[in-house]
Structure 1
Amino acid sequence: MKFLTVLILTISINVLSIDINAVRNAYKAAGQDHTKVEAFNKLLLNITKKDKSVLVAYKGAAIALLARKEKKIKEKKRLFQEGVSYVEYAIEKSPNNIEPHFIRLGIQENTPKILKYKSNIEEDKQFILKQFKNITSTNLRNHIKDYILQSKAFSDEEKTVISSQ
């Protein structure tokens, strides 16, 4: 019983000690440089669906990014589906949280058409545009803004509006 208590405390402390800004930066780095995917995944290894929805969504993104590196199609598909299930669960758990929508948009925008995971791009884009002004975290605001400015999903007019906020 003592061992179980220590194990739970250790895992809880690890999850509590995760710096969300570090996770965001690792996500951005992993999306731009495939050599950083492993480090991003390790950062979120102990996250489960019982944790904060934002961390669950990032874990899903990490798993989906791992799928890119797989050689076998079957394993690629399995990892991608597992990653997406975490992201979808996070959105279901916290439908009004902008960050899981942002993560799903990033995945859908950068996923090959063959995977048929593009159905929420417009929905997430509109949600982000509507909620952007309500973001209180400067780090998150800049993180999403940087993505929008390089994204093909957003028009030049939408990028201009976001730039001025």
Structure 2
Amino acid sequence: MKTLFIAFFAALTLSWSNNCEQLQKVRTFFQDGVDKEQLEEMIVICEKSNCSDVIPYHAAAIMKKAEFVWSPMQKLSNFKKGKKMLENFITKHPNHVEARYIRWLTQNKAPKFLGYYNNLDEDDLFIQKNLAKSNINTDYQNIMLKHIKKIKNE
């Protein structure tokens, strides 16, 4: 019985630690920008993942789908669906730095007529204050900061 418990615990720990194995790939897609095929691949990866850190990227990918559809109604539908997913995630995880980063970037790039720009200052301050003490690896923190600086200088 003791051996069975140890084996179960080891398997559970191993599956939990591999839970976010696709996060780096999703981050890369997000940072590099994607064409329609890459976006669909990113969405499939996100849908198959059970890593909660992937959810904000999934939401951003759904919003980005609006760029690749012809119908204005479908554009708006995709944007609203992704926005709702991202806002729900942030409501549940208000201290999630990457989610705030994704919202900040999205709000900076979203057309103003969509009215999705209310959290820019709040998210910017939150990111600056909390990024260094987050569990995000230093390399990705630097990528995030460079991306923010680039957008602020546009």
Pair 119,21 (structure 1): closer, same or farther in 2 beyond 3 Å = same
Which is greater in Rg? 2
Structure 1 residue 64 corresponds to structure 2 residue 76? no
Check conservation: 2:22, 2:49, Cα contact below 8 A.
no
For the pair 1:107 / 2:106, whether they are aligned, the reply is yes
Q: CA-to-partner distance for each residue in 1:66-105, whole Å, 9 max, x for gaps? A: 1111110000000000001111111111111101000001
SS in 2 for 1:140: helix
1:24 paired with 2:33, answer: no
> Can you give the 5+ residue segments of structure 1 that lack an aligned partner in the other structure?
1-11, 155-165
1:149 and 2:152 aligned: no
**Structure 2: unaligned runs, 5 residues or longer:** 1-14
Does the CA-based 8 Å contact 2:56-2:102 persist in structure 1?
yes
In structure 2, the CA distance between the partners of 1:65 and 1:27, relative to structure 1 (3 Å rule), is same
In structure 2, the residue matched to 1:158 is none
* 1:6-17 mapped onto 2 (5 Å cutoff): 16=19
Equivalent residues in 2 for 1:75-154 (5 A)?
75-136=74-135, 137-152=137-152
Q: Secondary structure at the match of 2:58?
A: helix
State percent identity of aligned pairs. 26
Equivalent residue letter for 1:82:
K
Provide the rounded CA distance (Å) in 2 between the counterparts of 1:132 and 1:93: 19
Pick from 31, 39, 42 the counterpart of residue 40 of structure 1: 42
* More displaced stretch, 135-144 vs 103-112: 135-144
Note the alpha carbon deviations across 1:109-156, whole angstroms, 9 max, x for none. Answer: 00001111011111100101111221341233123122122112x7xx
What TM-score, normalized to structure 1?
Answer: 0.73
CA RMSD after TM alignment = 2.4
**Using the alignment, how far apart are the partners of 1:45 and 1:94 within structure 2?**
19
- 8 A contact 1:21–1:139 mirrored in 2: no
1:47–1:59 Cα contact (<8 Å) kept? no
Structure 1 runs of 4+ aligned residues shifted over 4 Å read none
